Chains A and B, each alone.
Chain A
Amino acid sequence: MQLTVWTYEGPPHVGAMRIATAMEGVHYVLHAPQGDTYADLLFTMIERRNKRPPVTYTTFQARDLGKDTAELFQKAARDAYARFQPQAMLVGASCTAELIQDDPAGLVEAMGLPCPVVALELPSYQRKENWGAAETFYQLVRKMCTGTSAASRADGAKPRANLLGPTALGFRHRDDVIEITRLLETLGIAVNVTAPLGATPADLARLANADFNVCLYPEIADTACRWLERQFGQKTVRTVPIGHAATREFIAEVAALAGVDPNAALDTSNLPWWSRSVDSTYLTGKRVFIFGDATHAIAAARVARDELGFEVVGLGCYNREFARDLRDAAKLYGVDPLITDDYLEVEDAIQALQPELVLGTQMERHIAKRLRIPCAVISAPVHVQDFPARYSPQMGFEGANVLFDTWVHPLVMGLEEHLLTMFRDDFEFADSAGASHLGHGSAPARHEPLVVPQDDILPATADIAGPVGVTATGWSSEAEKELLKIPFFVRGKARRNTERYATELGIAAITLETLYDAKAHYAR
Chain B
Amino acid sequence: MPVASLGCSTAPVLRERGQREVFCGLTGIIWLHRKVQDAFFLVVGSRTCAHLLQSAAGVMVFAEPRFGTAIIEERDLAGMADCNEELDRVVDRLLTRRPDIKLLFLVGSCPSEVIKLDLSRAAARLSIKHAGSTKILNYSGSGIETTFTEGEDACLAALVPDLAADISDVPSLMIVGALPDVVEDQFLRLFADLGIKTVHSLPARRANAMPPVGPNTRFLLAQPFLGETARALEDRGATRIDALFPFGAEGTTNWLHAAAQAFGIDEMHFRRLIAPGRERAKRAIAHSRAKLEGKRITFLPDSQLEVPLARFLATELGMIPVEVGTPYLHRKHLAQELALLPADTLISEGQDVDLQLDRVRAAKPELTVCGLGLANPLEAEGLTTKWAIELVFSPIHGFDQAGDLAELFARPLRRRDVLRV
Contacts and interface: CB of A to CB of B under 8 A. Distances in A.
Interface in B84-108: 86-87, 89-90, 93-94
Interface string B58-94: 0111011100111111101100010100110110011
A62 B48 contact: no
Nearest to A124: B46
A7 interface: yes
Contacts of A48: 376
A3 interface: yes
Interface stretch (A49-57, A314-322, A437-445): A49-57
A344 B98 CA distance: 14
A7 B50 contact: yes
B47 A3 contact: no
Contact of B93 (A3, A10, A40): A3
Interface string B262-293: 00000000000000000000000000000000
A34 B50 contact: no
Given A41-B372, A344-B64, A59 B20 contact: yes
A331 interface: no
Contacts, number: 186
B111 A37 contact: no
Interface string A52-92: 10001111111001000000000010010001000000000
B316 interface: no
Interface stretch (A93-101, A206-214, A286-294): A93-101
Given A35-B52, A38-B52, A59 B19 contact: yes
B260 interface: no
B28 to A, nearest CB: 12
A370 B24 CA distance: 30
B73 A125 contact: yes
A128 B47 contact: yes
Contact of A44 (B60, B144, B376): B376
B380 interface: yes
Given A1-B87, A3-B94, A11 B47 contact: yes
A490 to B, nearest CB: 23
A58 B19 contact: yes
Contact of A36 (B48, B64, B77, B83): B48
Nearest to A365: B60
B61 A95 contact: no
Nearest to A381: B54
Most chain A beta-carbon neighbours within 10 Å: one of B26, B81, B93, B113: B113
B145 A62 contact: yes
A36 B376 contact: no
Contacts of B145: 61-62
Nearest to A10: B51
Given A11-B47, A37-B19, A44 B68 contact: no
A156 B133 CA distance: 80
B76 A1 contact: yes
Given A34-B20, A76-B19, A96-B110, A6 B48 contact: no
Most chain A beta-carbon neighbours within 10 Å: one of B19, B20, B23, B374: B19
B48 A94 contact: yes
A60 B24 CA distance: 12
Given A41-B371, A50-B377, A7 B68 contact: no
A1 B90 contact: yes
Size bracket, chain B contacts: 35 or more
Given A52-B377, A65-B114, A33 B144 contact: yes
B376 A37 contact: no
Nearest to B21: A37
A65 B143 CA distance: 13
A48 B379 CA distance: 11
Interface string B361-380: 00000000001111111011
B51 A33 contact: no
A148 interface: no
A20 interface: no
A152 interface: no
A96 B115 CA distance: 9
Nearest to A63: B144
Nearest to A64: B144
A114 to B, nearest CB: 20
Given A1-B76, A41-B55, A52 B373 contact: yes
A126 interface: yes
| Closest 3 pairs between A and B when the two form their complex, measured CB to CB | A35-B24, A35-B143, A40-B373
24 contacts: A1-B83, A4-B50, A5-B65, A7-B51, A7-B54, A33-B144, A34-B22, A34-B147, A35-B26, A35-B27, A35-B52, A35-B110, A37-B22, A38-B51, A40-B21, A41-B56, A41-B373, A45-B372, A52-B377, A62-B113, A96-B144, A123-B74, A344-B64, A383-B59
Given A3-B69, A10-B55, A94-B48, 8 more contacts: A1-B70, A1-B72, A10-B51, A35-B52, A36-B52, A37-B22, A38-B56, A45-B372
